[in-house]
Amino acid sequence: MKKIIALLITAVLILALASCSAGNTAGQTATNSDEAVTESASTKAPEATKSDDKTTTDNNDKDNSGKALVTYFSATGTTKGVAEQIADVTGADIYEITAAKPYTSEDLDYNDSNSRATKEQNDKAVRPEISGKKINTGDYDTIYIGFPIWWGEEPRIMDTFVESYDFSGKTVIPFCTSGSSPIDTAEDNLKANAGCGEWKDGKRFSAETTSKDIETWIKTL
Ligand SMILES: Cc1cc2nc3c(=O)[nH]c(=O)nc-3n(C[C@H](O)[C@H](O)[C@H](O)COP(=O)(O)O)c2cc1C
């Protein structure tokens, strides 16, 4: 009898781990924007679904033959530039994470303790809404996740993003841009909030990053 109970518990645990974030609530709002996922020069445009139902956007059983997607959030264009260089070098598709309520320069004022960004960063539970088309993560094996560092961490919208998708079976590669702060804390937070995926060590880039720097980094992965 003890063996049967042990077998049943093991089976339940395996089923629970199969989809590590099925219990997460998706914070992303789907709209009909056709700009969200951009076809790279060497790959076919991915299918993006318009459903808010996380389970319908994920299909981890497909053979994706190493297809990669570069996702990024960028408030002032620096991370966008790096993301585009990564997509160029790797031939990956690219997807911009856009805030449903765009950030103004007042929102981004880190000298103002009452600015939107400062308040969001002071509250780990905040999940700013994402707008635009959802990704079909089932189309990809590798997902790059890029963002700026805000107050030493990931912008809270990145937590919305990682909690909106199931990364099980995916290689996840975080990268950031910042004035000087490292990626470490943001990387740990995102990995914990995503709850699954094979996370590679993250990489911080400066605003002066060149394609050569990107190529050198890609070779180390
Ligand atoms: C609200 C806010 C907070 C920031 N906090 C930091 C920080 O803690 N450390 C740092 O090195 N840079 C910080 N920065 C600078 C950005 O990380 C840097 O300029 C980044 O490259 C901007 O990327 P983006 O243009 O893609 O938005 C901050 C910028 C903003 C707007």
| Fold exhibited by the domain 2-220 | Rossmann fold (3.40.50)
- Residue 128 pLDDT greater than 70, yes or no: yes
DSSP string, 11-77: HHHHHHHHSTTTTSPP-BPP---SSSEE--TTSPPPP------HHHH--TTS--TT-EEEEE--SSS
- What is the predicted pLDDT for the residue at 204? 98
- Residue 11 pLDDT greater than 80, yes or no: no
Task: Find out whether the beta carbon of 185 lies less than 6 Å from any atom of ligand 1.
Answer: no
- What is the predicted pLDDT for the residue at 76? 98
Q: Note whether 67 and 80 are within 8 A (CB).
A: no
Which amino acid residue places its CA nearest to atom 22 of ligand 1? Answer: 148
Q: How far is the CA of 176 from the centre of ligand 1 (A)?
A: 9
| Residue ranges of domains in the chain | 2-220
Higher per-residue pLDDT: 194 or 4: 194
Higher per-residue pLDDT: 21 or 5: 5
Higher per-residue pLDDT: 24 or 194: 194
Residue 86: closest CA among 197, 221, 194: 221
- What is the predicted pLDDT for the residue at 68? 98
> What number is the average pLDDT over the span 60-89?
88
Task: Find out whether the beta carbon of 148 lies less than 6 Å from any atom of ligand 1.
Answer: yes
Task: Find out whether the beta carbon of 91 lies less than 6 Å from any atom of ligand 1.
Answer: no
Look over the chain and give the mean of its residue pLDDT values, rounded to a whole number.
Answer: 82
pLDDT digits (tens, 9 = 90+) for 32-67: 333 456 655 433 333 333 334 443 344 444 455 689
Q: Note whether 137 and 61 are within 8 A (CB).
A: no
Strands (E), 100-162: 130-131, 142-148
**Which of 71, 116, 158, 181 is the best mutation target for the ligand 1 pocket, counting ligand atoms within 8 Å of the beta carbon and taking the most?**
181
